[in-house]
């Protein structure tokens, strides 16, 4: 049973507050203990996200280890996101959506072409946004640093036959997820621009990103 947990943090006390338009990328290093809130402003948006140990970026989010250790395909309150070296990168500490995808991956030129149509290949994609954001803001990270990502707010059920289906989202306007950094943590986001599947109602929308300092 999914448990929804609201946050006690107030936006007025945030040290960072930005609206990220669909199709845009974002990266920031969080100090240990800082909390990031991702707000689905209009509902059913997909927020593709990757996490890295900021002190060793070869140690990055591992979907396989995270799923195995928590025994659940989906993320919600209490989920600990593990790295390739079995470190806890961050923990979900509040969630008013209730379920987030670990399997659907990031849309790319190749998947646009295969899933939808040949002429969709050159539409905007999360993989391209990841790469552009890394190139512009880190200089040292490349496509070798991309791995399987989390899709916050995205609904990707697994059928009894073991297949993935992309369905209408479970989120709604104003719902959010909060993550506490358990180490110095680089967060990389692509606010998905996808127009071809129903997860966001075929209408990519902005999200709001807020950061609070650690509470002593």
Conformation bin of residue 197: beta by default, left when phi > 0, alpha when psi is -120 to 50 = beta
pLDDT tens for the chain, residues 1 to 216: 467 899 999 999 999 999 999 989 999 999 999 999 999 999 989 899 999 999 999 999 999 999 999 898 899 999 999 999 999 999 999 999 988 988 877 675 555 555 554 455 455 778 889 999 999 998 889 989 999 999 999 876 676 776 666 666 678 999 999 999 999 999 999 998 776 666 666 678 999 999 999 976
Total residues belonging to the chain: 216
What CA–CA distance (Å, rounded) separates 14 from 20?
A: 16
Q: Are strands 80-82 and 47-53 parallel, antiparallel or unpaired?
A: unpaired
What confidence score (pLDDT) does residue 117 get? 44
What CA–CA distance (Å, rounded) separates 198 from 138?
A: 32
pTM of the model: 0.89
Contact 174, 95 (CB under 8 A): no
What confidence score (pLDDT) does residue 160 get? 72
What CA–CA distance (Å, rounded) separates 63 from 196?
A: 24
What confidence score (pLDDT) does residue 123 get? 54
What confidence score (pLDDT) does residue 126 get? 84
């Amino acid at each position: 049973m999914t448990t929804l947990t609201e946050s006690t943090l107030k936006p007025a006390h945030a040290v960072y507050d930005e609206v990220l338009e669909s199709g845009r990328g974002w990266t920031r290093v969080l100090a240990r203990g800082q909390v990031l809130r991702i707000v689905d402003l209009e509902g059913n948006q997909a927020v593709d996200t990757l996490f890295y140990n900021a002190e060793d970026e070869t140690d990055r989010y591992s979907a396989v280890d995270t799923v195995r250790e928590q025994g659940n395909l989906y993320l919600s309150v209490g989920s600990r996101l593990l790295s390739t070296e079995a470190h806890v990168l961050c923990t979900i500490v509040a969630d008013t959506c209730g379920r987030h995808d670990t399997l659907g991956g990031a849309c790319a030129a190749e998947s646009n072409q295969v899933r939808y149509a040949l002429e969709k290949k050159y539409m905007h994609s999360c993989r391209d946004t990841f790469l552009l954001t890394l190139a512009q803001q880190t200089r040292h990270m490349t496509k070798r640093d991309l791995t399987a990502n989390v899709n916050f707010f995205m609904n990707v059920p697994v059928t009894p036959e073991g297949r993935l289906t992309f369905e209408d989202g479970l989120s709604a306007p104003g719902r959010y997820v909060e993550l506490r950094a358990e180490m110095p943590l680089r967060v990389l986001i692509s606010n998905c621009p996808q127009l071809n599947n129903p997860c966001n109602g075929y209408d990519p929308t902005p999200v709001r990103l807020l950061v609070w300092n650690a509470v002593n």
